[in-house]
Amino acid sequence: MKILSTIIIFSIILFFGFIQLTNVLGLPTFQELDEMKRAAEKNDIDIQKWNVYIKAEQSNISLNKIRQKLHKIFAEKSGYEWKKEADQHHYQAIGVLKQENLLEKIIISVLPKNGEYTITYTFQLMVEGDLESKVMTEPIIPFDYKNKNTFITVEGIAINHSPNRLSEKILSSMNAEKVEELHEQEFVSVSGYKENWNNNNLKLKNEKLMNIQVGVRELDDSRSKVTIATPIIISEY
């Protein structure tokens, strides 16, 4: 009976942990982030940091609607440190929230166009450490966005691995097909396609689709920096 109770409690913890993360990032993003994490762990990669970058834009909006949107975001994110700049041609607000090893950043830009306005949002979540190092329990993205404008990156360190072999093992761990690769001195980049990640695909020059990229750079004789991203690596690697 004690064993059964322990299993039930553990299952409840896992369930609510899943709900918390999906509330933050949305179900498709959770799936991708979770699979990237498991692939890193399977190949003995020590996860150092990870981040999510999202961009969205809305056009042909009245000034009154712009004010309403800004007021709503500032109210929801009152815990952020905000810096605001404005002139007759442009408005920008940058909000930052730091919590231990977690950094959230929102940039809002407003430009006039033909008597109305275009508002652009960018959101970035950066966490140092493993994916489970910070518990997040509230939605943190205060605007509507599409999965195709979402970029997710996991970075870590691998010990005693061949860059070429490691990049292919990571793709294999995720059941992804290799579609393109680049080899340079001390560096390998491999692009792949995973069938059940259909919301965020990029088309290559050879007309093939990609939605995952792995970069491995040798740091010294034993260590390599590993970057796994979907659909493409947008950070320096």
pLDDT at 139 over 50: no
Q: Which residue pairs, CB below 8 angstroms and at least 24 apart, start in 20-24?
A: 20/135, 20/136, 20/137, 21/136, 23/136, 23/137, 23/138, 23/139, 24/136, 24/138, 24/139, 24/140, 24/141
Residue 116 contacts residue 61 (beta carbons within 8 Å): yes
Residue 236 lies in a domain: no
pLDDT of residue 221: 86
* Tokens standing for residue 100: 């231990």
Domain with 176 in it = 2-230
**236 Cα distance to chain centroid:** 14
List the 150-159 sheet strands across, edge first: 81-86, 91-99, 102-113, 116-128, 46-61, 150-159, 223-230, 212-218, 187-193, 177-184
Residue 170 contacts residue 188 (beta carbons within 8 Å): no
Cβ neighbours around 69 below 10 Å, total: 18
pLDDT of residue 206: 81
Residue 24 lies in a domain: yes
| Span 82-138, pLDDT tens digits | 999 998 889 999 999 998 888 999 999 999 988 899 999 999 989 888 666 444 434
Residue 235 lies in a domain: no
Residue 111 lies in a domain: yes
Residue 237 lies in a domain: no
Residue 212 lies in a domain: yes
Whole-structure pTM value: 0.78
Give me the mean pLDDT over the 16-21 stretch. 38
Residues contacting 203, CB < 8 A, separation 6+ = 209, 210
pLDDT of residue 163: 87
Residue 42 lies in a domain: yes
| Span 29-66, pLDDT tens digits | 567 888 999 999 999 999 999 888 999 999 999 999 99
pLDDT of residue 85: 94
Number of folded domains that form the chain: 1
pLDDT of residue 26: 45
Cβ neighbours around 105 below 10 Å, total: 17
Residue 186 lies in a domain: yes
pLDDT of residue 110: 95
| Span 62-89, pLDDT tens digits | 999 999 999 999 998 999 999 999 988 8
